[in-house]
Amino acid sequence: MGGGNVKVNMSYLCDALQLELSSVSLLGGSILKTIIRGKGEAASLAKVAVRDLETVVAAAQNMGVLCPLNVCPGLPVNYDRAKTGGIVWQMLGELKAKRKNPLTTIAFGGRYDGKLAEFQKSGIHNGLQVPKVELSGAGFSFMLDKLVNAVSSSAGYEPIEVMICVTGSRPQLKEVAQILRPLWSNGIKTCVMETTAGAVDDLGKEAGASVVVLLGDGGELR
């Protein structure tokens, strides 16, 4: 009997962790309904979480977000962010339709309390006058090249023509500016990325660049 219960509980847990719904309103009829409609601390926390999700989704829709908003109450998209509390979100786009998995992460965000605490400790350690108060905040990060690529087909944008990839621990900013100026002056769409030599080809392909220039530590071009 004990072994059977363990199997059932593990199966329930796996299903709950992988749950993905097209609407917050569907949570009450999902596998999580036992928790949401129950009593005790777990049920209370679940009800608060559902209300928070409803508030966030409603706010997003009121601000004009029209894309589908899926809810994943199980495994978060970024555990390191989620473990500090709050809602974690990510924006996906079908940028590479020919791939087996065409979805690409364009942006993601959540609470930044942990990062703020790290910056605070770093400042204090380096002798800066940083107030010793509890810091809270939320924010998001986005991939500019992928965002531009996502809107290019609908907004009439063209991908960049030249990508300058800067490698090394000390970027040659002066050399970068000298390369950028004539290109921009002649109307050639050019962007600059700090990266590693091994990631240059993939970055160039993702951005749609015709030419990729690699600028090394010593100012050498390739």
Give me the pLDDT at residue 67, please: 82
Give me the pLDDT at residue 2, please: 47
* pLDDT-based confidence at residue 129 (cuts at 50, 70, 90): confident
User: Across the chain, what does the average pLDDT equal?
Assistant: 75
Pick the residue with more confidence: 128 or 199? 128
Average pLDDT over residues 207-215: 82
Pick the residue with more confidence: 121 or 9? 121
Average pLDDT over residues 154-169: 72
Average pLDDT over residues 131-147: 82
Of 220, 207, 221, nearest in space to 161 by CA:
207
Q: Report the C-alpha dihedral over residues 51, 69, 62, 135, rounded to 10 degrees.
A: 60
Residue 93 has phi, psi (to 5 degrees) of -140, 145
> Looking at the chain, which runs of residues are DSSP E strands?
89-94, 103-111, 138-142, 162-166, 190-194, 211-215
Give me the pLDDT at residue 54, please: 83
Other C-beta atoms closer than 10 Å to the C-beta of 118 total: 11
The answer to whether the CB of 83 falls within 8 A of the CB of 111 is no
Would you list the domain boundaries of the chain? 11-74, 76-154, 157-221
**Residue 155 predicted with pLDDT over 60:** no
The answer to whether the CB of 192 falls within 8 A of the CB of 164 is yes
Which of the four CATH numbers 3.40.50.800, 3.30.1330.10, 1.20.1530.20, 3.30.2310.20 does domain 157-221 have?
A: 3.40.50.800
Of 155, 166, 211, nearest in space to 188 by CA:
211
**Residue 122 predicted with pLDDT over 80:** yes
Give percent above pLDDT 90 in the chain.
0
Average pLDDT over residues 110-136: 84
Q: Report the C-alpha dihedral over residues 83, 86, 91, 92, rounded to 10 degrees.
A: 40
